Amino acid sequence: MDVFSGILTGFQTVLDPVNLLFCFGGVFIGTLVGVLPGIGPVGAMSILLPTTYGLSPVSSIIMLAGIFYGAMYGGSTTSILVNIPGEAASVVTCLDGYQMARKGRAGPALGISALGSFIGGTFSIFALVFLVFPLAQTALKFGPPEYFSIIFMSMIILTYMAAGSFVKAILMVLIGLILGTVGIDSVSGVARFSFGSTSLLDGMGLVPVAMGLFGIAEVLSNLEVEIKRSILETRIKHLLPTLQDWRRSIGPIIRGSFIGFFLGILPGPSPVVSSFLSYSIEKKISRDPGAFGQGAIEGVAGPETANNAATGGSFVPLLALGIPPNVSMGLLLGALMIHNIIPGPLLITQHPNVFWGLITSMYVGNIMLVLLNLPLIGIWVKVLKIPYRLLMPLILLCCLIGAYSISNNVVDIVIMVIFGIVGYILRKFDYEMAPLILAFVLGPMLEKHFRTSLIMSDGNLLIFLERPISCVTLIISALLLISTGFSYYRKMKGRVIT
């Protein structure tokens, strides 16, 4: 199937009334969680993951993807109007967006944010279509050693890019790998870490673990933090940017599209990294860097474009290799695996409706998001006024119902609550959840490819170094580990001396 016939298949899939409804529902919920500080797309996707059990694979992936990229749009609203980022990727938007709002230019700030996001999202969709094909063709030549090495490198890059301590990130990866081994060993048939419980023989489900770590823990963390929201009461007008605004923004939008997409391919929190990098570049090349932080429209256009372009880039390794580069993609991988669909090089040929339906839904969803964000600003402002004492109990109720509805098993609720408490405690000590959940998702795949490789080589570990792609990937991983370890050693040594 060529690209154009594939796109036609995708539009036929997404324009089905049911899929169109779930696309709208996904981007609407994504915008909502982006507007409301403290929830985030990962928490919303975790809470809604149980609903995908009763949906078709296409509808479920379209909805969850809509939540992911929709949150990037909504996050800018709170950054500009309240100076509180609804989503981590919109932190940098506060610097100039809120200052524009204070100067009576909230309308152009919101307008350029939405339109820049649309351009960045559209660019990433087209780049995704034309990049995923050659990458998938290359991946067809991969064997178990190559897949093991690439998954291993993904985990190393994730710990390398962790915002906090490297040691804590490594510890989270190890815990995630151990949790991924719970259940019956697929090779030997021996039960591992089940502690005599028949409910754990199939392993821990992704849904209760994710809902606990990102749903329950998020609620508990937000309950102890009082978020003061001072919403600008000025009338928002002139949403469409002026010609002068466009002249100043078009360069940052183009650069942000490229920065976001290519950073999105890399493992880690790419929307966050891309928005900060875009802002730094625009400030560095600007003729008036002093204007940044005072209400420069370039400081809104570039980062908002970059974080939306990064969402499209994140789909490249997931769809082409079956390897999620971040937690949101890990949850999408879990949703597909629920329906016995494994993303990777064979996805395009085996499930063309899923692949092309997802691609085209992202374009349709981006159009919906522009229509949602610009005319409905007044509604989102009212949503911001919902008190947390009403919002958080509703989220807890959704988590409890969702966990139980998976298999009508109380054990899933217990697992969710335990991981919610554990996640809350880990957050208090500045441990990141992303390495844990990604290692939990990728751990079984890592083990499977490792053991298959050893079976192929009769137990000879040199198979990983004899194959060029695997060898180069492992060397890069080793260099990253050595570099990070050396930096950590120097930092600790400096603390001891002082």
Q: What is the pLDDT at residue 237?
A: 62
Enumerate residue ranges in the chain where pLDDT < 50: none
CA distance 383 to 389: 14
Q: What is the pLDDT at residue 370?
A: 82
What does 414-474 look like in DSSP terms, one character per residue?
A: HHHHHHHHHHHHHHHTT--SHHHHHHHHHHHHHHHHHHHHHHHTTT-TTHHHHSHHHHHHH
Q: How is residue 235 written in tokens?
A: 């009338």
Q: What is the pLDDT at residue 241?
A: 80
- Mutual orientation of helices 243-264 and 298-321 as an angle, nearest 10°? 30
Q: What is the pLDDT at residue 210?
A: 81
Model pTM? 0.77
Q: What is the pLDDT at residue 258?
A: 92
Residues 315-354: pLDDT tens digits?
888 888 888 887 788 888 888 888 888 887 778 888 888 8
Handedness of CA 224, 230, 235, 239 (dihedral sign): negative
Q: Domain map of the chain by residue range?
A: 3-497
Residue located via tokens 């990962």: 42
Q: What is the pLDDT at residue 294?
A: 82
Q: What is the pLDDT at residue 409?
A: 79
Q: What is the pLDDT at residue 133?
A: 78
CA distance 144 to 464: 9
Q: What is the pLDDT at residue 163?
A: 60
- Mutual orientation of helices 298-321 and 352-373 as an angle, nearest 10°? 160
Q: What is the pLDDT at residue 24?
A: 92
